[in-house]
Structure 1
């Protein structure tokens, strides 16, 4: 696709590539999907929220990136772990477990509104969950990447 991918295009691509994901909320240029992902051992209920920018908005990947949350099973911390209680997450709420997944470095242009969620965000969520399951078992995060403290996410 060329140009900013509209929310209608994002929804169509998600429906085509990930039919188990349902749009649970749609408001203007925003949509939220919920669906299952099972990379290895557990099936996770995942929520992806996104607002497609208008052409005139400043394209800031920290503000425009999709927000991905694991709804269940609940992510479990490893207290005292060198990676942190939960590695590669953004704390978005009052609870220490209310987090969004950190799946890419917004400063390195790995993702932009020119890309589809179906072809980037969902596969990256699968990679993140795989790395998380490995980290829970071994204490080693194999997903690589650099973790930023707290970017500004869509809706903030």
Structure 2
């Protein structure tokens, strides 16, 4: 049975309350067009810089996350980092397998995944542009990758801090 049979879909107010409870330093705005906007900070490791991000979420749409500061860097050959959409928003999950749905809380999924993505981004920058975070980007399906990446326990050790 799917989770939809057991769990009520959280409305945007409930999503906002959950984020405010777990991340009190984040700025959370409920907009009149049924969208939630979150400004937050992530620091994937103790040696990482502080990343400022903006998350925009509407029901039945994928959450759109942009890193505002520092600007994401291109790779050694000028390529953009893996797992970004055309507008440079983060690709955090494969939509077709329902890793994230409207029944999930952003505070328990998307927000921790931002820091996890940044962890692998920093690794990508320092290791010669090899992406070790796994995953399949919807626009680039590789024949060698048969299973989607399953998140590791590293997502439990990330940190979100006040700027």
TM range, smaller chain = 0.7 to 0.9
Tell me the residue number matched to 2:94: 105
CA contact (8 A) 1:135 1:142 kept: yes
Aligned residue pair count: 132
Structure 1 stretches (4+) deviating beyond 4 angstroms? none
TM-score w.r.t. length of structure 2: 0.75
Tell me the residue number matched to 1:59: none
Query: CA RMSD, aligned part only?
Result: 1.8
TM-score w.r.t. length of structure 1: 0.78
CA distance in 1, matches of 2:91, 2:72: 14
Q: Does residue 77 of the first structure (1) align with residue 92 of the second (2)?
A: no
CA distance in 2, matches of 1:6, 1:28: 13
Tell me the residue number matched to 1:3: 8
Tell me the residue number matched to 2:55: 48
CA displacement 1:54-86 (0-9 Å, x = unmatched): xxxxxxxxxx121111001000011537xx422
Which stretches in structure 1 are left out of the alignment for 5+ residues?
54-63, 93-98, 151-156
CA distance in 2, matches of 1:50, 1:113: 10
Which stretches in structure 2 are left out of the alignment for 5+ residues?
1-5, 141-163
CA distance in 1, matches of 2:75, 2:9: 39
